[in-house]
Every structure is written in C-alpha cells, then in structure tokens.
Amino acid sequence: MASHIVGYPRMGPKRELKFALESFWDGKSSAEDLEKVAADLRASIWKQMSEAGIKYIPSNTFSYYDQVLDTTAMLGAVPDRYSWTGGEIGHSTYFSMARGNATVPAMEMTKWFDTNYHFIVPELSPATKFSYASHKAVSEYKEAKALGVDTVPVLVGPVSYLLLSKAAKGVEKSFSLLSLLDSILPIYKEVVTELKAAGASWIQFDEPTLVKDLAAHELAAFSSAYAALESALSGLNVLIETYFADVPAESYKTLTSLSGVTAYGFDLVRGTKTLELIKSAGIPSGKYLFAGVVDGRNIWADDLAASLSTLQSLEAVVGKDKLVVSTSCSLMHTAVDLVNETKLDSEIKSWLAFAAQKVVEVNALGKALAGLKDGAYFAANAAAQASRRSSPRVNNEEVQKAAAALKGSDHRRATPVSARLDAQQKKLNLPILPTTTIGSFPQTMDLRRVRREYKAKKISEEEYVSAIKEEISKVVKIQEELDIDVLVHGEPERNDMVEYFGEQLSGFAFTANGWVQSYGSRCVKPPIIYGDVSRPNPMTVFWSKMAQDMTPRPMKGMLTGPVTILNWSFVRNDQPRFETCYQIALAIKKEVEDLEAGGIQVIQIDEAALREGLPLRKSEHAFYLDWAVHSFRITNCGVQDTTQIHTHMCYSNFNDIIHSIINMDADVITIENSRSDEKLLSVFREGVTYGAGIGPGVYDIHSPRIPSTEEIADRVNKMLAVLDTNILWVNPDCGLKTRKYTEVKPALTNMVAAAKLIRTQLASTK
C-alpha cells in the first residue's frame, strides 16, 4: 500500500535554516553559504522519507520564505516598486518583496488559512506582466533525483494562487483576479513541460481554496484551468491536494470532474464530512484517493487502530490499489522530531508524534493495509492511547466545574464603553492621539543569554531579576525620552508571548526543540495543552509593578488572551476547543484582577490570533466567534470602569469580523493596518461606527525599513478622515521584539513626532 507526505518542515530540527537566513540578511554569510545549508536540509528530508518507505515524497515544498511567494517568483509577478528588470529572480528581489528594503515597503503578509503560518500576498492588476522567472520547482526535482530520490513536485495551483492574491493598489473594484488565469497558465505549462522532461511521473497541485465557500464562477475557473492544462499534463499523474477543512459538495463535484487529474487528496482529520461524502458520492473509477488520516497540524500520536479502520472502509470505495495513506496537510505545521526532546516528561512524550514520527505512522498504516501490520508498533500505540485517556493529570474536576458555571452569562462589563473611556481619561489624563507600543522591545543577544543561563541554572534568581530589572529600566527610559504616552516594560522576561504564560499554567507541557515556522525565519515553540488549565500563581504582576514604579506615566500590564493562547498552542484533541478556551479565560481573569489590585491602570490582553481561528466555512463562523469573543470578555468582566482594557490583533483580514471585534467590548484595540494597504480603514469608510479607542498600526514592524515622520503623519491623517480624534491612538503594527534598537529608536522618534505634528495642526484649526 502506497504512502504520501503532503509537505515537510523546512527550518530543520535545530532551526538551521533560520540561522542561515538571518546570517545572510545581516551580511555575515554569502548566498552560497545559505544555499549549502538549504541543500543539506533538503537532502536530509528526502533521505528520511525514502528510508521510512514513503512512496510519494514531495519536492518544491522547501522555501526561503513561503510557497506563495515562491509562486509569485515563478510567475515573475513582481510589483513595479521593486525595480526588477527581468531574468531569473534573485535573492535581492525575492527578499525585498518579503521584507521590504531601505526604500520600499514589503508586500502584505497574512495568515495561511486558519493557521499561524503566514504568506506574502501577491499584488496583481490587469497590467501585471507574467514570465517564467524562477525555475526552483524543476531544479529541486533534479536535485532530489541526483540523490536517488524520485519526488512529486508540488506547485500552488493556479486557481488558488489567484484566489489568494489581491488587486494592486489603484485597480478598479470591478477587476477580477480570475481574469488573469489565461495569463498565468502558459507559465504553468512551461513548468510542467520541464518537469516531464526531467523525468517526473507525478505532480501535485495544492488547491486548498477548494475547502472554502466558493461561488459558481470560482468553481468554473478550476474546470477551465485544468482543461487548459490537460494536454501539457498528458503523461503525468496529477494529484490535486486539499486540506484544512471539509470540501463542500459542489466543490467535491467540481474537483472529481477535473480534466486530466489522476488523484484527489483530502484532509480526513478536519474534514470528517468529506469522509462521508467520499463514501456516498464515490471516487471516479480508476482514480486514486490520497487519504489524509494522520494529523499534520497537531502533535498527538495517531490513533492507528481508528485510522486503519477508516482506511479499510475506504478500500471498499476506491479499491486497495487506488488508496494511498497520507497526512492531512503539510507537516510544516508541526514540530520536526521527537527524538530531540530528551527532557520531556516520559508519559507525555509517549502520547506525541512530531513530523518524523508521523512519517513513520503513515508508512505503518500503509503496510498494515497491505497485510504487513507491525503488531508490536500497533500495540505500543494502543497502550499510549489508553494511558492518555486514563491519566489523572489530564482532568481537574475543580477546573471543569468552574468552566461549566460560566454558562448563562455573557460576562460583559456593566458600564458602556463611552462612559468607561470618560472615567479612564479623568484618571490617565492622556493627550489626543496618545502614543504607545504593542508590548515587546528588541530581544538582544545579551537578553537571550541571561534567560538561557537562568534556565540552565548558571546564574541565580537574584542575578536574573537584577538583569531583567536593568533591561526594563532601559526600556522605560527610552520611552520617556521619546515622550511616548503609555509605556510598556518591553517583555524582557519572555521569549515567546504564549510559551511564557503556558509555563506558568497547569495543564501545559513544553519542548526543547519543538519549533514551528511562522513566517520567514520567525519560528515559534507552541506549548502543548494536555490537560485542564488553571493558574496556580500570579504570572506578570511582579514585573508589571516593578516597571510601573519606575515611571509616573501609565504602564501597560501585558497579557496574552485565551483565544490566542489556544490558537498558538498544540491543543488537546479529547474535548472541544471552546471548553479548553474557557478554562484559559478563567486563568487570565485571575491575573487581570491581580494586576488591577497591584495598581496597574492599563492592561493589554492580546488576541492576535482571534481572527486566525475563524473556521474556513461561513456556516461555522457564528459559533466560533460567540465562544471566542465570550472568552475574551470573561478575562476582564470584573475590573473597575477606570481600568483601561486594551487588546491587540495582527496580520489577518479583520473586515469580515469587525462587528465581533466591537462585541469584544475592549476599551482600546490596536490592530495591524500599515502592511495591508490600510484596508482596515475601508470598514469605517463604509459606515461602521466604532466608539471605543482604536490604534490602526502606523508602520510595519516586520520590515527593517524606517518610515519618515511625514509618511506616518500621512497615515494618521487618513485615519482621521474616518475615525474620531478622541478615539484614535498612534502605535506600530505589532511588537518590536524582532527589530534592532537602531531601527526601533528612529522609527518611534518619527512616530511620536508625527503625532505631535498633527496635534499642533488640530489645535491651530480650532
């Protein structure tokens, strides 16, 4: 029985690619050095899958930034501002699109469906000139073949590429991105032709937009695209891969009718309805079913007995020789290898499977279907499943009762936001257009060393506290010198905004090397929520009070919200996600109340990932938004009117959930705006009334570029055209931890200068 992996993590087991990229960007290593690291990682990945017995091994899933940007490079769809003159796209143009440079901003970045992975959004227009400008897919296929591994080259499908794109600034609203289909298909044909000439026998097109709610003309585009590609694809086996959700019935009908397609890949973990659809509607005769039964988005060991049962039921639909065992999606959304976790609790470790282990699970299921079941392997898996179900560390009756008692109240603060803002202003006495930052300040090498040495017990707690206090003092002084109105302590004690809280909450476990790529070189190490969640002790009060004692200005207490902790963790799969979220909300509520009691007047509860968790199907939106927004309100429903509650959101499309954002009932929301061409402001231009404080980001912190005072002032004036002066805040898009002080200080200097300039202009017009 054949087996298949949709995609694999790129960063390496010890984040080798991250460090190589950052060294290259800093000018400390050459392009050749970078490519050597990348080539070694690719070779290791292909060898691992080949030795594990995987038949359909992917290539062209390795990327220096993301697979959509790779496709933009392949198509030569470079916006004019990058001054690309044609030919093969090199590192300079590629990374300028991703990160910006000294003279031009980066392209927009947004979340990849409902994951914490990001992609660079293509900017297209009727004037976009396409050309075959990156031969990466072909060169990587040849590279693997030279190593003795015949791979399945993977391309982002042409229709999904266009549906994930956006119209360039200034393009008429009537412009349809799908009108460009005939312009990009010739390049896809060139790529396919070269892959065939190189010896490829299979090709995988990722068309994940098929799981979304698509209009009839969008579904028709799939039929048109693959009909046009049919002759070029002749002689190749063609797999169309979908993932992350159920495929709707109409989309399923379209997919299984596509010309020239040999196989269909489905996520059967998050797509349980698709499983029933396959059984009822069937698969066209002679076609392959790539059954994604091993979860590519979580770290729990697969229930092999249950998956085998599912696969056996599908054999009756497609036949034994046409069923391929697969992952539900790319394994890039999970950690790399459990072997590297030498300090993880042995019981919890037995419940887990990272990417390397999932490759083994896929192969074991394939062999079992072929009658070669590894009895010992399956028995060990069954024992681990039973251990997890019965472990007393998973369940806490007191926590479950507290969460169950939440039903029956919406946990909304009693006083309307307008009255709360008046009470807060009397206490805080802020100027119009108050300035603030989002939370973190640059994480220097010295700071990381201090945290590392403290964890390794190389320095005492007293030495650690002294070092962190010194860093907080430095950050406070910088903000005071810059004349920022509401300060932050810079979060020097935190490596990661979710990991930090998880380490202090019960029900969480942590890895040493469980890194997952978020975007570019940015990696996160998601906590593992294995049991019921509670807060044994205060988590941030000590540091927040210390920082507030250093300044007469308001100091924000900085917390991560329950929905973001949930969405940025590997979550237990033995109870509904909302139940876990309510437990986290109650824990954060205790922290909020302790901060308030400690004299902190402004408390920020970040919900950066609230939009990220929105289901891909509209029919499921209302239920998710109800419990997600409710969870946020639980955290702060008990504070006084004079305590100002902030929240922050970043890098998603917020326009379709603006009413839910309003329903969160925060006093102030800071929200990403600058990198997305200020499309957030269009909501307010279209008549949505927002009465709470709001700070749309005035500059992009994910780019090293430093915006001028005039540029920031122009952004603020655009905001004032649609937002009232009394509610507008001035702040960056996101936290500053990934930037250097040489970038942060001048950018914040210009931000404060822009706010003061506009205050003066507003005063003179009164």
Q: What pLDDT digit, counting tens, does each position of 273-306 carry? A: 999 999 999 999 999 999 999 999 999 999 999 9
> Looking at the annotation, which residues are catalytic?
702
Cα–Cα–Cα angle for 440, 66, 508, nearest 5°?
50
Please name every residue paired with 134 in a beta bridge, in sequence order, or none if there are none. Answer: none
**76, pLDDT greater than 90:** yes
Neighbour count for residue 194 (Cβ, 10 Å): 18
Q: Which CATH number fits domain 56-261: 3.20.20.210, 3.40.630.30, 3.40.50.300, 3.20.20.80?
A: 3.20.20.210
Is CATH 3.20.20.210 the classification given to domain 419-765? yes
Mean pLDDT, residues 340-359 taken together? 95
Residue 408 — pLDDT band, cuts 50, 70, 90? confident
Tell me if 94 sits within 8 A of 69, measured CB to CB.
yes
Domain 56-261 matches domain 419-765 at the CATH topology level: yes
Residues at the binding site for L-methionine are: 438-440, 491, 606
Rounded-to-10 torsion of CA 633, 636, 639, 642: -80
Neighbour count for residue 146 (Cβ, 10 Å): 9
Mean pLDDT, residues 571-596 taken together? 97
Alpha-carbon distance of 71 to 63, in angstroms, equals 10
Tell me if 472 sits within 8 A of 461, measured CB to CB.
no
pLDDT digits (tens, 9 = 90+) for 448-458: 999 999 989 99
Domain ranges across the chain:
56-261, 419-765
Cβ within 8 Å of residue 107, ≥6 positions away: 79, 97, 98, 120, 121, 122, 123
Cβ within 8 Å of residue 32, ≥6 positions away: none
Mean pLDDT, residues 564-581 taken together? 96
pLDDT digits (tens, 9 = 90+) for 101-154: 988 989 999 889 999 899 999 999 999 999 999 999 999 999 999 999 999 999
pLDDT digits (tens, 9 = 90+) for 648-684: 987 556 677 888 999 999 999 998 887 666 666 777 7
Half-sphere exposure of 568 (CA within 13 A, CB side): 26
Q: Residues 648-663, buried b or exposed e (16+ Cβ, 10 A)?
A: bbbbbbbbebeebbbb
Cβ within 8 Å of residue 250, ≥6 positions away: 214, 219
Q: Which amino acid, 325?
A: V
Cβ within 8 Å of residue 214, ≥6 positions away: 248, 250, 251
Listed as own residue / partner, the contacts of 33-37 with beta carbons closer than 8 Å and 24 or more positions apart are 34/64, 34/91, 37/12
Alpha-carbon distance of 323 to 314, in angstroms, equals 8
Helix (H, G, I), strand (E, B) or coil at 110: strand
Question: Given the DSSP bridges, would you call strands 57-59 and 151-156 parallel, antiparallel or unpaired?
Answer: parallel
Residues at the binding site for L-homocysteine are: 438-440, 606
Question: Given the DSSP bridges, would you call strands 288-294 and 263-267 parallel, antiparallel or unpaired?
Answer: parallel
Alpha-carbon distance of 223 to 246, in angstroms, equals 20
Cβ within 8 Å of residue 45, ≥6 positions away: 8, 62
